[in-house]
Structure 1
Amino acid sequence: MTDPCYSEMKQHKRECDWLYAVADANHGIPNKCACGQSIVVETSEQGRRYYVCKVFEDDGSHFRICCLQALEDEVNDLKKDARDKVQTRLKLQLKIQQMSKEIEELKKLVKGFS
């Protein structure tokens, strides 16, 4: 039989993991709310647009994200990805140049033994 404290601890860990996922998912354009419901676009009285959970309650576990902020997050992520890809490409090009030089040196060595 398992210790009741152990099962209680596991339940607390699951709840903390879920809350961490909710906080981490509050970035960019959401596809689904943390509760599993779909996201709709609503307009406030001031004319601002928001991504909102279909069953939104102000309890901290549902999404209500400003569209502009979500788009800004997405664009920043895309810029970062593009920078990372450029850096990776440059590193690979440098590595290819180094390997080409090594291949040429090895060809010269092989010709010397022939």
Structure 2
Amino acid sequence: MRESPHFLLSPKKLGFSTREAIFVATPIQSSILHQIDDVVRSHRAEMDPAEERRHSKKQKDHCNMLGFVADSQYGVPRRCACGGRIIDEVRGKEDYDSLPGKRFFTCVNYEDDGLHYRHPWVVGVQEENKRLSKRLHEAEQVMKGVWKLNKRIEDLEVSTGYNPV
């Protein structure tokens, strides 16, 4: 009888039952996670504490910057968060595009990393229109208030007999 190579040994020759051999040979989800966790832990164990602090500060700054950029995308942008100028971009005709010619306010240095602006033109104009309408309403309220205050001052001057001439 011919001897099988070592990787084809039967489980019984190795001292396992068939069921145990299948369990040992089959990777399960938790063992993979443990292996990944062991690699991460060993890498962290090698890191210098000062380097780890710098790394965590960089990560925190990056996450904060993503939030700042997302929060600042309102209305018609004047400048990108990176300092780049904003250009009007018109999307060309593409096979899969359902809205050919869609316009965007886009940073000159645009990369799809979340740190640059690429704002749809329609949304930006609508938001800017809403903002300007609100400012107009506030200005009208101030003008009405000034008129009411002037009228009240005149009434007080008449009632007290004050003549500022």
| 1:77 match | 131
Which of 25, 28, 36 is the matching residue for 2:75? 28
Q: Does 1:37 align with 2:91?
A: no
| 1:64 match | 118
Q: 1: distance between equivalents of 2:150 and 2:66?
A: 45
User: Is residue 75–residue 128 contact of structure 2 (8 Å, CA) maintained in 1?
Assistant: yes
After superposition, give the CA deviation of every residue in 1:58-109 in whole Å (9 maximum; x if it has no partner). Answer: 221110111111111111111101000001111111111111111001107x
Q: 1: distance between equivalents of 2:101 and 2:61?
A: 40
Q: 1: distance between equivalents of 2:122 and 2:69?
A: 20
Q: Secondary structure, in 3 states, of the residue corresponding to 2:113?
A: coil
After superposition, give the CA deviation of every residue in 1:1-44 in whole Å (9 maximum; x if it has no partner). Answer: xxx7xx9698747963x445423321111121111112222112
| 1:51 match | 105
In structure 2, list runs of 5 or more residues that go unmatched. Answer: 1-49, 94-99
Q: 2: distance between equivalents of 1:21 and 1:97?
A: 46
Cα gap change, 1:73 to 1:22, in 2 (>3 Å): same
Runs of 4+ in 1 over 3 A off after TM superposition: 7-15, 18-21
Q: 2: distance between equivalents of 1:28 and 1:41?
A: 14
Q: Secondary structure, in 3 states, of the residue corresponding to 1:41?
A: strand
| 2:141 match | 87
Does 1 or 2 have the higher relative contact order (CA < 8 Å, sep 6+)?
Answer: 1
In structure 1, list runs of 5 or more residues that go unmatched. Answer: none
Question: RMSD value over aligned CA atoms?
Answer: 2.7
The alignment of Structure 1 onto Structure 2 pairs a total of residues equal to 103
**Identity score, percent:** 25
| 2:20 match | none
Cα gap change, 1:49 to 1:13, in 2 (>3 Å): closer
Q: Kindly name which structure, 1 or 2, has the bigger radius of gyration based on alpha carbons.
A: 2
- TM-score under structure 2 normalisation? 0.53
